[in-house]
Amino acid sequence: MPGQSQEEESAVPGLDDITEKASDAGIDKAGDAVDQKSGGKLDGQVDKAQESADQKVGE
Position 5 confidence tier, pLDDT thresholds 50, 70, 90: low
Does residue 54 contact residue 26 with C-beta atoms inside 8 Å?
no
Higher-scoring residue by pLDDT: 12, 18: 18
Closest CA to 28 of 50, 4, 58, 8: 50
Between residues 3 and 28, the one the model is more confident about = 28
In DSSP notation, 16-55 reads HHHHHHHHHHHHHHHHHHHHHHHTTTTHHHHHHHHHHHHH
**What long-range pairs does 6-13 form, CB within 8 A, spacing at least 24?**
none
Model confidence pLDDT, tens digit, residues 18-49: 888 999 999 999 999 999 999 999 999 999 99
pTM beyond cutoff 0.75: no
CA triplet 32, 54, 22: central angle to 5 degrees? 70
